[in-house]
Structure 1
Amino acid sequence: MSNPLFNASLLESLDFSDSEGIHFNPTITLKNPGNALTIRPLQRDDYDHGYYEVLRQLTTVGEPSLEDFQTRFDEMLACAGTYYVIVVEDTNTKQVVASCSLVIEKKFIRQCTKRGRIEDVVVDGSCRGKQLGKLLVLTAKKLARKLECYKLTLECEKDKIPFYEKFGFRNNECFYMVQRF
């Protein structure tokens, strides 16, 4: 493995014996996410493995250079315990085909605990329907619990609400406000 963003043993240590009402049909698991697929942390060389091509299916990413990517990767790596970018790799093509980010915010409230936030959930169009999004969100949720977050949040488009409700997320009537620059 080429310089991962976080220690892969964290993923290997997650307990999936209780899938919390999430069912996979056909059955896939963290250790066996599908034929020729593997789940792992983002790596420093994933710029050349289609990471941005997958992200472009979610939002605008611009045209970052390899140097831009590696600089940001190194900045995230330096913030140990904050960024957990989980990817699915097609082991035949060595290309990233799905991704999900878990960001850990350290708080002063609630006994100096942590809050988790799921971001940037995306599955390549060629791999949709294989339950990879579901597996990535469940993995991020389990990881947030393991890292002792007191809550886990995410933002999503209105049409995605039913998908996230399956994981126990609910609209808590708070207003999400944004100011873009």
Structure 2
Amino acid sequence: MEYKIRALTDSDYTNYLQLINQFRPTTFTEEDYKTILHQIHDMSTIWVIEYNNELIGTATIMYEYKFIRNIVKLAHVEDICIDHRYRNKGLGTILLKFVVNEATNQQCYKIILDCDEKLEHFYNKSGFKKNGIQMANYFI
């Protein structure tokens, strides 16, 4: 399987929306998509796996500077999604390794993520360890 990992672009709107709608139904305009994509550019990147001109996977990496740690960078991984037709082929692991490498290249002191309990084993295999608890306060 020959694939390419690259950053999401303005022209990916339709294919990206189709991919992420497999995981959580969402709607937003192409104009909003482009606006947000440009706004997040400085502190995050949405990566995609492209195969035969189709987006089959995605992961988001966001960066945060930590003043409390002498202004070092922390990476958050979010929204790792693989098209249901391409699951169990190692693409999630490949994409995760890619974003971990990106965080390393950005000289982050650590990389964190939140996941469903059923995915804990997947992330453990890639070197992630359970650390504390996640808490949330939802407004919407």
Bin for the TM-score computed over the shorter chain: over 0.9
User: What does residue 39 of structure 2 align with?
Assistant: 75
Q: Which structure: greater helix fraction?
A: 2
- Deviation per CA, 1:63-98: give whole Å up to 9, x if none: 101111111112112xx2x112110112x3x22110
CA distance in 2, matches of 1:153, 1:57: 24
Q: Percent identity of the aligned residues?
A: 29
Structure 1: unaligned runs, 5 residues or longer: 1-33
Normalising by structure 1, what TM-score?
0.73
Equivalent of 2:129 in 170, 174, 181: 170
The DSSP-based 3-state class of the residue aligned with 1:45 is: helix
1:52 aligns with 2:13: no
User: How far is 1:99 from its partner?
Assistant: 0.2
Equivalent of 2:104 in 145, 148, 153: 145
The DSSP-based 3-state class of the residue aligned with 2:69 is: helix
User: What does residue 45 of structure 2 align with?
Assistant: 84
CA distance in 1, matches of 2:94, 2:68: 30
User: What does residue 4 of structure 2 align with?
Assistant: 38
User: How far is 1:57 from its partner?
Assistant: 2.2
- Deviation per CA, 1:103-139: give whole Å up to 9, x if none: 1111102220011111000000111122111001001
Normalising by structure 2, what TM-score?
0.93
Q: Which runs of 4+ in 1 moved over 3 A?
A: none
1:135 aligns with 2:100: no
How many matched pairs?
A: 139
Q: Which amino acid aligns with 2:56?
A: V
Q: Which amino acid aligns with 1:40?
A: R
Structure 2: unaligned runs, 5 residues or longer: none
Equivalent of 1:121 in 60, 80, 84: 80
Q: Which structure: greater strand fraction?
A: 2
Q: Is the 8 A contact 1:58 1:120 kept in 2?
A: no
Correspondence 1:12-27 to 2 at 5 A: none
